[in-house]
Structure 1
């Protein structure tokens, strides 16, 4: 393989890896937030529902009615926001970006050196780059705060393997 081309392929694979590291970490951050929202909506609704039921049995109609309204409101918010589905979507995107990150690293650490045919190596990199583009199109949007938290974590070394230090 021509060294100039190999170097260009490695640099581009490292860009794919970096993009995927940020996207993966940011999606994990967003998934964690939506999971927390799911708990914050679901647990009070479940607890209030149980208390409303007991209150109705104990003839505390006003308390039971108030709690029933509260449960209905929480249930409506939970249905509208659907935090569990959003958390799942972000978690799946995070895992897909993480997988692609690993493949990009394997490409520039092993495949680029092992593949003697320039066109084969270029094709492999284009597949990685195309997969990244597909993931960017199909993944849920990353909130700015989740990206910033990912950036800070990555800059602090959270995404670095000890073997690479």
Structure 2
């Protein structure tokens, strides 16, 4: 196998990896967005109910208001600690960044099949994309294992469709 074929194989592997990370970060962003909603909605509801209960004239209103206030405080603390909104935003940004990189690597791979493209032209472009890839990976939050596996499955489906065309 010649050098160009080896570089093409490496380009394909990094193209796939960028796609997996784009999909994995996207799935993680969706999950953290859901956590934000699932914590925020009950928190708001319990806080409103606690306030309404405290203002009511029933004998048990103080107990109900106290319980609802404790639940609202716990949900607020968990939400503050996990910070799901910021996590969702950072994973969504990483997803978009990896998707852009994936498309750049894909275009490099497609252009590399042209016989007129030499190793002297291909190598520096690929090295620059690899540097972007590593910088982006270092700057991005970690993708959970479940999201990485899901991204890998989605990427394989996409690759299968691309090879059929």
Normalised to the residue count of structure 1, the TM-score between the two structures is 0.87
Corresponding residue of 1:6: 4
Equivalent residue, structure 2, for 1:58? 56
Higher mean C-alpha deviation, range 140-149 or range 104-113: 104-113
Matches within 5 A, 1:93-132: 93-110=94-111, 113=114, 116=117, 118-132=119-133
Aligned-residue Cα RMSD (Å) equals 2.1
Q: Which runs of 5+ in 1 are unaligned?
A: none
Unaligned runs of 5+ in 2: none
| Counterpart secondary structure, 2:2 | helix
- Aligned match of 1:78: 79
Give, in whole Å, the separation in 2 of the partners of 1:98 and 1:25. Answer: 8
Cα distance in 1 for partners of 2:153, 2:7 equals 27
CA deviation after TM superposition for structure 1 residue 163, in Å: 5.8
After superposing on structure 2, the runs of 4+ consecutive aligned residues of structure 1 that deviate more than 4 Å are: 114-117, 160-164
Most deviating of 137-146 and 56-65: 56-65
Aligned twin of 1:22 = 20
Equivalent residues of 2:111, 2:117 under 8 A apart:
no
> 1:68 maps to which residue?
69
Provide, for residues 94-141 of structure 1, a one-character-per-residue CA deviation record: whole Å limited to 9, x for no partner. Answer: 111111110000011126638745333211100111111111211111
